[in-house]
Structure 1
Amino acid sequence: MSDPALFPPGLPVLTEMRLHTSGRAWLAELPALVEKLRTRWSLHFGAPYMGGSCSWVAPARLPDGTRAVFKVTWPHREAAGEAEGLRIWDGRGAVRLLDHAPEHQALLLERCEPGTELGAADGLGTERRLRLGAGVLRDLWSAPVPADTGLERVADVCAEWADLVEERMARLRPGYDPGLVAHGARLLRELPGTAAREVVVHGDFNPGNVLAAARGPWLAIDAKPMTGDPGYDPFPLLEQIDDPFATADPHRTVADRLALLADELGEDADRLAAWAAARRVEAALWSAEHGRADDGAGVMAEARILADAAGG
């Protein structure tokens, strides 16, 4: 029988997954699944982590005393490639994959300790954290890309997003700048084909997914990997290390950060800005689709700043 303490009522994954039918079905099986995998791998669990909205994640200890992290995820498209990405990186800039139960979308992972999020390391300062994050990206991108990874391609995913942007704009008519929306959709289609190189991108490189680790000193977690243009990756780091749009001169702040990241990563600042603008437009139309048009209006204002930085 599963331990009820492992599924406290306030756990975010329990709240979020109850909002849709497939999530509720997955939750109904979750305690038995966790127990099954605990038995398979002879694990001892600590209290689950409180972050995350579609995964149950807890510290674990293996029979030999190894300190690990156990993660089981609601099956969905973005999570499908995480294990393969971790295998390709093999510890370069990311946690190591210790074991995998693909039939259950479950991972046994290296534990990051102390585990401080890069976004919460305020004492390091914004510039230092941007440089540290860029260093992790360099490590991730340094892994050779196998001939057949089975991972999705940035170009294919972004082409689908471009179609969704246009369809949502036409159907929802949220009042956003039509020229900027069209520009964002065009960038989503065109940018992947202009890349100078192909890497395995992290796919969700926000500073909450970069943790302090003894081996690291910073390692990435919670990847949604794809293959393609490295310029796709840096935007969440740029905008979430703190809020550049809330500064006295957001245009200057954004330009400075883009220049810093471009220099650290060996990428073109205008392309990084274009990717950021494209992803911001996509986020605005997602907000409109999900009944968050007010949030989307603010996101569109940010997209304009990013497009200006790219000269668009």
Structure 2
Amino acid sequence: MDPQRDPIRVVFVLLPDSLVLDWAGPAEALRIANQRLRAAGQPERFVIEFAGPRPTMRGSVGVALSGLAPLPTQWSGPGWVVLVGLPGDTIATDTPEAQDLLHWLRGQRFTHGGVELITVCAGALLAAHAGALAGRRVTTHHHHLDELRAVEPRCEVVSNRVFVLDPPVYSSAGVTTGIDLMLHRIADTCGEALAAQVAQTMVVALRRGPHDPELSPFLAYRNHLHAALHRVQDAVSEQPQADWSVPRMAEVAHTSARHLTRLFVEHAGVAPLAYLRRLRLAAAQLALASGASVTRAAELSGFGSDTQLRRAWHQFGLPGSPSAGTSASPGQSPRRRTSPVFTPYLKRWNLTPDGEAFTSLSGTLLPVRQHGVPAMLKISHEAEEQAGSLLMAWWNGDGAAPVLAHDGEALLMVRAQGTASLAQMVHEGHDDEATRILCAAAARLHAPRDTPPPPTLVPLTRWFEALWAGAATHGGVFAHSARTARDLLAAPRDVVVLHGDIHHGNVLDFGPAGWLAIDPKGLHGERGFDHANILCNPDGESALVPGRFARRIEVIAEATGIEQRRLLQWVLAWAGLSSVWMLEDGEVPGSTLEVARLTAAALGIAG
């Protein structure tokens, strides 16, 4: 007999008051798997049985169960013993039925590929009382984690996981996670395709894996008793994509915005906008896992753009990028899919890998060589980044890195080989030189071309939309920034194609080709905008060196011919917008906001 294809005897062992959902969901998954196998002309793989110390009993919701088989005494092939949970704060084992079950469990010998043990929810406590978990890694419902540690100190209790695999023991957390674990076991024995069909039939929108946290971001930060704060969290959880601001949240709580922020920090341990960003990120992950594009996921979850979604992704420490992590669920580490992503382009463009792949805010990148020429292959599914690739190709190596090939999500560009760094130049005391290099790079990009630019350029009026709401929420320098931005946008001068993110890390040393730009945002508006971000970089400490702000304004005005007051207005507008984005991300604007205040003072704006 072939143990890989022999029918698997799956015995759900029940006690009085066993949680019905703990066994009904997993059993249904197995039934559907058999049904799918029959439809495909294959033999059923699972023989489903229900057993217990007594032939009749009641389940947790009062349903009468009868015809239960006796606890098995013999096994003739592979088998799974499934232990399920019981209601209650602790799991009592002093009943006659529980004692009979523990006696039977102690007589079982669990082996990988033979008879294996599956626990759902507090079923792990029953296994622990029987001594079946010594030396194993296991999990259980989060209410019973400490109890499990006390009952079996020899096992490693893993918290905040959907399920844990330590063959021949497989344990899941609370209630519905038993379905996740059973889908995983079906995939192991019958293949991922069948498991996916079962999940689809059960309308399980998202299969979770062994590295997923049990606690959803929608349930986190709720361990408090403040009714008004719960009311806000309920409202935000129901519609994370809505146009939430701290004042709007405060209206739900019937309090002030300032007091609501104190409530969030004191009772939930998180700032209100940071809480919102976490929920939106979880919603975006669900959308990505369901097949939505990054742009659509950003829209559905309430992010203003692909860029905001990418920034949140990295802010909260998720590996990879949204485009590389579309199979991930909230809290899950996205699988690395470097090879499948890059393989078609390696073949099509005759490329040889020349280093390790890595991810950045702009996409997933792989150093390569094409006919011996060092290049960089960048993959991004974000519409904004793809528009930037079109712009890079339009610039045709004049001011920007030369593009060797591009096709939708993929961009192949010459790799920077120079050893100089603008940030390092600043740190070594050559800030004037670095600033002039950035101005010269921007001038090359702003120069007119013979061909029309790509149609994907974003007008500055749209780029600044987040500032209007931020000004209404925060007032002060944000309001000054918004008024200044509206005035600038209403009467633009020297309108050109803009890079959109000129700073010390986006203009690189390309050796004989000089300093060239990468990673454009692809905007359209007054050229002064492209110089504003220089004042905030390469880092806060460098930007705020005494006397540097005023000196940079002088150098930029001299290099570009832009009137100093006009340049200051663009810096104030940009610093306010950037600070609003940071607040939306749950970050403290810090040095960027200080640059805004310095600029307002230089313009003679009080307050």
Q: Same fold (TM over 0.5)?
A: yes
* Identity level (%): 24
Report what 1:117 is aligned to. 421
Give the whole-Å Cα distance in 2 for the aligned partners of 1:231 and 1:180.
Answer: 20
TM-aligned CA distance change 1:21 to 1:180, over 3 Å? same
* Cross-structure match for 1:184: 481
User: What are structure 1's unaligned runs of at least 5 residues?
Assistant: 1-11, 171-175
| Range that drifts further, 282-291 or 23-32 | 23-32
Q: Which residue of 2 aligns with 1:173?
A: none
Judge conservation of contact 2:536–2:595 (CA < 8 Å) in 1.
no
Indicate if the aligned counterparts of 2:438 and 2:503 stay in contact, CA closer than 8 A: no
- Amino acid aligned to 2:518: I
88 and 112 in structure 1: CA distance in 2 versus 1, 3 angstrom threshold: same
2:601 counterpart of 1:308: yes
Counterpart among 377, 395, 402 of residue 96 in structure 1: 402
In the alignment, which residue of structure 1 is the partner of 2:544? 246
Aligned to 2:375: 68
CA 1:22/1:51 → structure 2, altered by over 3 Å: closer, same or farther? closer
Cα distance change on mapping 1:300 and 1:143 into 2, 3 Å: same
2:447 to 128, 135, 142: 142
d(CA) in 2 for partners of 1:20, 1:57: 11
| Alpha-carbon distance between aligned partners in 2 of 1:222 and 1:22, rounded to the nearest angstrom | 16
The TM-score normalised by the length of structure 2 is 0.43
Distance in 2, matches of 1:47 and 1:148, equals 33
Task: Give the direction of change, closer, same or farther, for the CA distance of 1:245–1:280 in structure 2 (3 Å limit).
Answer: same
Secondary structure of 1:256's aligned partner: helix
In structure 2, do the counterparts of structure 1 residues 155 and 286 end up closer, same or farther at CA, with 3 Å as the change threshold?
A: closer
Matched position secondary structure for 1:296: coil
Amino acid paired to 2:504: P
1:160 correspondence with 2:499: no
Larger radius of gyration: 2
Map 1:1-312 → 2, pairs under 5 A: 16-18=317-319, 24-25=325-326, 28=335, 30-48=338-356, 52-62=360-370, 64-73=371-380, 75-102=381-408, 105-114=409-418, 116-121=420-425, 122-123=427-428, 125-144=430-449, 147=452, 149-166=454-471, 169-170=472-473, 176=474, 178-241=475-538, 243-247=541-545, 249=546, 252-292=547-587, 295-296=588-589, 298-312=591-605
Q: Deviations over 1:82-101 (max 9, x none)?
A: 12211332211111111112
- Kindly provide the CA deviation profile for residues 127-153 of structure 1, in whole angstroms up to 9, marking residues without a partner as x: 111111111111111133855631333
In structure 2, the CA distance between the partners of 1:275 and 1:50, relative to structure 1 (3 Å rule), is: same
Query: Which amino acid in 2 is paired with 1:88?
Result: W
Runs of 4+ in 1 over 6 A off after TM superposition: 19-22
Going from structure 1 to structure 2, the CA distance change for 1:305 and 1:68 (only over 3 Å counts) comes to same
Match of 1:6 in 2: none
Cα distance change, pair 156–31 in 1 and its aligned pair in 2 (3 A) = farther
Rounded Cα–Cα distance in structure 2 between residues aligned with 1:260 and 1:296 = 25
| Paired residue secondary structure (2:513) | coil
Distance in 1 of aligned mates of 2:529 and 2:564: 12
Q: Is the 8 A contact 1:198 1:229 kept in 2?
A: yes
State the distance in 1 between where 2:385 and 2:434 align. 26
Displacement of 1:19 in angstroms is: 8.5
Q: Look up the SS of the partner of 2:366 in the other structure.
A: strand
Deviations 1:94-142 (A, max 9, x none): 111111121xx21000122125432123457111111111111111111
Structure 1 residue matching 2:505: 3-state secondary structure: helix
Q: From the superposition, tell whether residues 39 and 205 of structure 1 become closer, same or farther in structure 2 (CA, over 3 Å).
A: same
Structure 1 position 283, deviation (Å): 2.2
Give, in whole Å, the separation in 2 of the partners of 1:116 and 1:86: 22
Q: What is the alpha-carbon distance in structure 2 between the residues aligned to residue 21 and residue 216 of structure 1? A: 33
Determine the C-alpha separation between the residues in 1 that align with 2:538 and 2:464: 28
Looking at structure 2, the residues matched to 54 and 129 of structure 1 have their Cα atoms a distance apart, in angstroms, of 23
**Cα distance in 2 for residues equivalent to 1:269 and 1:194:** 17
Name the SS for the 2:528 alignment partner.
helix
Tell me by how many angstroms 1:159 deviates: 4.1
What are the Cα deviations for residues 222-265 of structure 1, in whole angstroms up to 9, with x where unaligned?
11121211111112223214645532x3xx43122111101101
SS in 2 for 1:302: helix
C-alpha distance 267-117 of structure 1, shift in aligned 2 (>3 A)? same
Once residues 159 and 239 of structure 1 are traced to their aligned partners in structure 2, the CA distance between those partners, rounded to angstroms, is 17
Report if the CA contact (8 A) 2:320-2:359 is conserved. no
Per-residue deviation at 1:270? 1.5
TM-score by length of 1: 0.80
Q: Which amino acid aligns with 2:497?
A: V
Structure 2: distance between partners of 1:254 and 1:231: 16
> Could you report, residue by residue, the CA deviation over 1:30-85 in whole angstroms, capped at 9, with x for unpaired residues?
531211221221210122365723422122111x3222111112x33431321221
Structure 2: gaps (5+ residues): 1-312, 328-333
**Structure 1 contact 207–236 (Cα < 8 Å) conserved:** no
